[in-house]
Chain A
Amino acid sequence: MSGKISEYSALLRAKKISSVELTKAYLDEIEKSDKKYNAFVSIDAERALKAAAAADEAIKRGEGGLLTGIPYGVKNNIAEKGVVTDCCSRILNGYRPTYNAAVIEKLNAEYAVPLGKNNMDEFAMGSSTETSVYGATFNPVNTAYVPGGSSGGGAAAVRAGMAAFALGSDTGGSVRQPAAFTGIVGLKPTYGAVSRYGLIAYGSSLDQIGPLTTSVRDAAIVYDAVRGADKRDMTSSPLSRTASDKLTGDVKKLRIGYPKEYFEGIDPEVKQIVESAFSFYRKAGAEIKEVSVPVLKSALPAYYIIACAEASSNLGRYDGIRYGYRATDYDDVNEMIMKTRSEGFGKEVKRRIMLGTYVLSAGYFDAYYKQALRVRESVSEAMRALFDSVDVLLTPVAPTTAFPLNYTAENMIETYMSDFCTVPVNIAGLPAVSLPAGNASSNLPVGMQLIGARFTEDVVLNAAYAFETEHPVNIDMGVRI
C-alpha cells in the first residue's frame, strides 16, 4: 500500500473493514490525541458516523470511488452548509454558511466522511497556525514546534493519524509549507484547476484549495476528486487533467531544473538535503539543468502587496451586520462597524488589511499595486519561458525546518521572508507539490518542492512519486482497527 487512502479504500471495497469502524477509529484517535495538538477546532461525530453509514451502503451497492468512506478534515475557511466556518477569527463567530463549497459537494458525492474543521491561522494569514482564535496547533513531530501554516491544523491532523487526508488552501504556501514542517505531502494545484466557490477568500487571485495527505498517490487521488471547471467560479478552468492514473515512477528523460536563486539564503542542512534529491533523479535517468530566474527575488514583495490589497477588499464585508461577531456598545452604525472590526480581527489580519488599504490608496496605487502587477507579469513570463527548457523545478519549500513556538510573533519580517520559496508559484498560478526529502539532525522533517508548468499536476506528482517510492517515510500515520 502506498498511502492511507489507497490502503483503506482497498480494505473497504474488500469489506474487510467498514467505514463506520474506520470513522470510529479516527474519532477515537482525535479524542485521545488532539488535546496535545489542537488540530481540530470542531468535530461532528454524529454527522461523521451518518456519512460513514451512507458510505457503507454505497459500497454495498457497488457505488462510490476511491474516497468513499474515507474520513477527512476540512480547513476552517471552506464553507460547509450549517457547519460553523469562521476562518478561526472572532469576527466570524458562529457563522454557518447557507451553502456547500464546490469541493465539499464533490466529496459528498463520493461519500467521503467529513470529521470536522481544522485549525488555521486567522483568515489563512500566517505561516505557523498560531494566530487562530482557538489557540495554536502543535507539530505532532515535536510539540515544541509549530506545524507551519496557514493549513497547520490539517497537516497536524494527517501527520498525527487523526484524518486520512485534509483539505487546505494555499495562497502563498499555506498547504506546502505545513506539509514540509510536518513531514507529509501537500499539493497546491494550478490556479483554476480547483473551484474556489465556497473558499472564504484571502487573496482571490492567488488562493487554491489543495490536499494534505500521507502520500503522493493519495494527493493525486484527492486532487482528481476535487479538480474541474465550475460554472460558479469564472476563474476555474476546463484544462486540468487527472493525475492518479499517471503515476508510473518513470522519470527517464525528465528535465529537472535547479533554479539557483531558490538555494540562496537556505539553512545549510536543508540545502544539502534538498540538493541530494538531484542525485537520486540523475541516477533515475532524469536530466538536471541549472537555471536562473533573477526576477524571482521580486516575487515576495509583489506577493505581499497583491495578497494584502485583495485581502483588504475581501475582508471589508465583515461589518457585524449580517453574520458573525457584533460589538455590543455603540451609538450608530458607523461606530458599530468600527468597534466590531477593531474587536473582531486579530493583530496580523489588521496589519494586512492596513497594508492592503495603503497600497491601493490614491497616490500610492501606482508605486505599489501597479508595480506589483508588473512584477507579477514578469515572474509569470519568466516561469513560462523556463518551462520551455525544463519539465519541473526542484526547490526547497522553506529555508528552515519548523519554527519553534512563538518565534513568528517576534520575527514578523523573517517569517514573511521565509515564504520566498513558495510564493512565486502562486504569483504565476503554477502547480507544485511539497513532499518529505529527509530529516534534519534535529529530527524535524525537511520538505522539497516540485514545480511544474500550468496544468501539469500529473508530471509534478509523478516526479514526486518516483522519489517517494525510493525514499519511503516509514512512519505509521494510520489508525488501528
Chain B
Amino acid sequence: MSGYLFVAGLETHVELQTKSKIFCACSTGFGAEPNTHCCPVCTGEPGSLPVINREVLAYAVRAGLATNCAISEITKMDRKNYVYPDLPKAYQISQFEAPVAVGGYITLDSGKKIRINHIHMEEDAGKLVHENGYTYVDYNRGGVPLIEIVSEPDIASVEEAREYVEKLQLIMRHIGVSDCKMQEGSMRCDVNISVHREGEPLGTRAEIKNMNSLSFMEKALSYEYRRQCELLDNGERVVQETRRYNENTQTTESMRNKEDAQDYRYFPEPDILAIRVGKEFVKKIAESLPKLPDELRKEFAGYGLSETEVKRLVEYKRIADFYSEAAALSEPKIAANLILGEIFRGMQTEEEKERFELKFDVKAFAKLVNLRAENKINAGIQKKVLQKMLESGGAPEDYLSADDLAEVDTGAIDKLCAEAIKSNERAVRDYLGGKEQALKALLGFVMKATRGKADSAAVEAKLKELICK
C-alpha cells in the first residue's frame, strides 16, 4: 500500500454566533425546551417568507476576509431541495451560483497554502430525537445560520487535514463568528478523499460525512486511506460513494453510492432577491477585523518565546489579546511566564481559559511585570502580589508596603552576605564539601534580614562569589 498519494478536500460547516436566526428573529440560543425558539418562518408554515439577517451576511463576509477570500459584489440564495423530517420546508436555503466569498486560502505552518474554493451561507436543519420508540422533531436549530467553507483538494496527509481544521477553528474564534465546538456541533466536517500514484490522474473519491471530533477525523482518514490503497493493491476499484465513520468499529462504512446520490434540484430562491454587498460594508468589516492568529504568532515569537509558549498564548482569543497588550506595555518574557504559570494554574478548564476572567485590568498587570523587570521587587513578592490580585483584583500598589518597595542597598546586601558567611562556618564548609543545599541556609539568613525584599538570585550569586574568593 505504499506509494499512493493522499488527496483530500474539506467541507467545513461553521455555526455562526449571531443572536437571531438567518431568516427570522428567533433566538439561536442552545439548549432551550424543544420547539420554543420557533416561528412560522423557521418552521416553514405555509405562506411564511424568509428575510435575510444582515448580521449573518456581515459574519460571512468577516469569515471570507479572514481566510483571504474575495467578497462577491452580488450574492444570491438558492434552494437545495431534499426531503427529511428535520427540514420543514423540504428545501434548505443555501447558496449555489453566487456564494458570498470565493477564492481564499489558509497557510499551514510549513508555508503550504490550502486553497479555499468558496464560502457560502445557509440555514441549519432541525434535530430528530428518538425516544421510547417514537421520533420527535425539535426545530429550535432550524434556521440557525451556518457558513460552509469548501477547500480545494490540496490536503496531502492526515496531519495536514488536522492542521487545516485547527487553523480554521482558531481563525473563526479569533474573529468572533463562531465558537467552533465540534462536540457540540457548531463545527462539522465532511471530507472528500482519494488516492493515486504520482504522475497518474486523481483517483475516485469517497466522501466521509459529519465527523464531529478531530480525533475521529484523523482515525477516519487514516482508515479510509488504508482501505482505498488496499483496494487498488488488490486490483479492485474505489467506488464513488458517501461513507460514515463508525466510532465502535473505528472503520468507515458505506451510506449510499453514486446511483442513489441526491439530485438537489438547486434553483434561485425566489423569495430572496439578489443581495448587493456594498464596498463600504465590506470595508467597515475589514477595518474591524482583529489581529489574526498568524499575525499574533509572529508577534509573540518576536518576543523570544518558545513555540509551545506562543501556541498556548494564541489558542484563546481573550488570552492572546490580553498578552498582546500586556507585552506592549511591559516586559514580554516576564508577562508570558506569569500568564502561562500563575494565571493558568487557576484556569484548568477550556471554558475558564476561553472566558479568561480576571479581576484586574491589563494596566495593573503590566505594572506588576514592570516592577519586577526594573528589579523593584523580587520574584517571590511578585508571585504573592499576583495571587492577591487574582483573588481580590486591584493594582500591585494595593498590596505592596513601603518596606516591600524600599530600595535595597547593594552595599548592605554585600555586608549581610559577608556576615552570613562569617556566622555559618559549618554551612560554608558543607558547601565547599560539595553540598549545594548548604547554601540555602546562608540565603535564608540574608532574605530574613531583608524581610524577603532582596533578589534571591543576586544574593545567591554574591554568596558564591564571596565563598569561593
* 23 A-B contact pairs sorted by A residue (CB < 8 Å): A79-B45, A79-B46, A85-B46, A97-B45, A99-B48, A101-B47, A199-B47, A201-B46, A231-B51, A234-B52, A234-B272, A234-B273, A235-B271, A235-B273, A310-B267, A310-B270, A313-B267, A321-B137, A322-B88, A357-B265, A360-B81, A360-B265, A365-B267
Would you call B49 and A233 a contact (CB within 8 A)? yes
A407 CA to B263 CA in the complex, in Å? 37
Indicate whether A448 reaches chain B with its CB closer than 8 angstroms: no
> Which residues in window 2-56 of B have CB below 8 A to A?
40, 43-52
Indicate whether B286 reaches chain A with its CB closer than 8 angstroms: no
Would you call A319 and B46 a contact (CB within 8 A)? no
* Cross-interface CB contact of B47 among A201, A203, A231, A309, cutoff 8 Å: A201
* Cross-interface CB contact of B49 among A87, A97, A232, cutoff 8 Å: A232
Expressed in whole angstroms, the minimum distance between the Cβ of A115 and any Cβ of chain B is 20
Please name the residue on chain A nearest to B91 by beta carbon.
Answer: A313
Q: Within 8 Å CB of B401, what residues of A? A: none
Would you call A200 and B47 a contact (CB within 8 A)? yes
Would you call A313 and B271 a contact (CB within 8 A)? no
Among all A-B residue pairs, the 3 with the closest Cβ atoms = A316-B90, A205-B270, A360-B265
Chain B interface helix/strand/loop/mixed: loop
Would you call B263 and A362 a contact (CB within 8 A)? yes
Would you call A198 and B270 a contact (CB within 8 A)? no
Q: Within 8 Å CB of A337, what residues of B? A: 83
Please name the residue on chain B nearest to A204 by beta carbon.
Answer: B270
Q: Within 8 Å CB of B91, what residues of A? A: 313, 316
A313 CA to B263 CA in the complex, in Å? 13
Indicate whether B62 reaches chain A with its CB closer than 8 angstroms: no
Indicate whether B302 reaches chain A with its CB closer than 8 angstroms: no
Contact code string A290-312 (vs B, CB < 8 Å = 1, else 0): 00000000000000000001101
Indicate whether B135 reaches chain A with its CB closer than 8 angstroms: yes
Q: Within 8 Å CB of A310, what residues of B? A: 267, 270
Contact (A97, B47) CB under 8 Å given A235-B271, A310-B270, A362-B263: yes
Contact code string B59-103 (vs A, CB < 8 Å = 1, else 0): 000000000000000000001010101001111000000000000
Contact code string A201-233 (vs B, CB < 8 Å = 1, else 0): 101110000000000000000000000000111
A309 CA to B78 CA in the complex, in Å? 13
Indicate whether A345 reaches chain B with its CB closer than 8 angstroms: no
Q: Within 8 Å CB of B90, what residues of A? A: 313, 316-317, 319
Measured CB to CB, the residues of B under 8 A from A are 40, 43-52, 79, 81, 83, 85, 88-91, 135, 137, 263, 265-267, 270-273
Contact (A197, B49) CB under 8 Å given A205-B270, A313-B81, A317-B90: yes
* Cross-interface CB contact of B271 among A198, A204, A362, cutoff 8 Å: A204
Q: Within 8 Å CB of B271, what residues of A? A: 204, 233-235
Would you call B40 and A99 a contact (CB within 8 A)? yes
Would you call A98 and B88 a contact (CB within 8 A)? no
A322 CA to B45 CA in the complex, in Å? 9
Q: Within 8 Å CB of B263, what residues of A? A: 361-362
* Cross-interface CB contact of A97 among B46, B50, B52, cutoff 8 Å: B46
Contact code string A73-111 (vs B, CB < 8 Å = 1, else 0): 000011100000101000010010111010000000000
Indicate whether A333 reaches chain B with its CB closer than 8 angstroms: yes
Please name the residue on chain A nearest to B269 by beta carbon.
Answer: A204
Would you call B47 and A79 a contact (CB within 8 A)? yes
Indicate whether A278 reaches chain B with its CB closer than 8 angstroms: no
Q: Within 8 Å CB of B79, what residues of A? A: 313
Expressed in whole angstroms, the minimum distance between the Cβ of A140 and any Cβ of chain B is 29
* Cross-interface CB contact of A319 among B50, B83, B270, cutoff 8 Å: B83
* Cross-interface CB contact of A321 among B47, B50, B85, cutoff 8 Å: B85
Please name the residue on chain B nearest to A230 by beta carbon.
Answer: B49
A97 CA to B43 CA in the complex, in Å? 12
Q: Within 8 Å CB of A360, what residues of B? A: 81, 265-267
A197 CA to B266 CA in the complex, in Å? 23
Q: Within 8 Å CB of A455, what residues of B? A: none
A197 CA to B50 CA in the complex, in Å? 9
A233 CA to B48 CA in the complex, in Å? 9
> Which residues in window 222-258 of A have CB below 8 A to B?
231-235
Q: Within 8 Å CB of B43, what residues of A? A: 322
Would you call B267 and A316 a contact (CB within 8 A)? no
Q: Within 8 Å CB of A362, what residues of B? A: 263, 265
Indicate whether A369 reaches chain B with its CB closer than 8 angstroms: yes
Please name the residue on chain B nearest to A361 by beta carbon.
Answer: B263
A29 CA to B76 CA in the complex, in Å? 50
A97 CA to B449 CA in the complex, in Å? 85
Contact (A317, B44) CB under 8 Å given A337-B83, A360-B81: yes
Contact (A317, B88) CB under 8 Å given A360-B265, A360-B267, A361-B263: yes
A457 CA to B202 CA in the complex, in Å? 60
Contact (A198, B267) CB under 8 Å given A319-B90, A321-B137: no
Expressed in whole angstroms, the minimum distance between the Cβ of B324 and any Cβ of chain A is 41
A357 CA to B43 CA in the complex, in Å? 23
Would you call A361 and B265 a contact (CB within 8 A)? yes
Q: Within 8 Å CB of B50, what residues of A? A: 234
Q: Within 8 Å CB of A98, what residues of B? A: 40, 45
Please name the residue on chain B nearest to A321 by beta carbon.
Answer: B85
A235 CA to B270 CA in the complex, in Å? 8
Q: Within 8 Å CB of A233, what residues of B? A: 49, 51, 271
Please name the residue on chain B nearest to A338 by beta carbon.
Answer: B83
A313 CA to B81 CA in the complex, in Å? 7
Expressed in whole angstroms, the minimum distance between the Cβ of B244 and any Cβ of chain A is 19
A79 CA to B272 CA in the complex, in Å? 20
Expressed in whole angstroms, the minimum distance between the Cβ of A341 and any Cβ of chain B is 10
Expressed in whole angstroms, the minimum distance between the Cβ of A458 and any Cβ of chain B is 25
Would you call A309 and B267 a contact (CB within 8 A)? yes
Which residue of B40, B50, B137, B265 has the most chain A CB atoms within 10 A of its CB atom? B265
Expressed in whole angstroms, the minimum distance between the Cβ of A372 and any Cβ of chain B is 11
A95 CA to B40 CA in the complex, in Å? 13
Q: Within 8 Å CB of B51, what residues of A? A: 231-234
Please name the residue on chain B nearest to A233 by beta carbon.
Answer: B49
A204 CA to B265 CA in the complex, in Å? 16
Please name the residue on chain A nearest to B51 by beta carbon.
Answer: A234
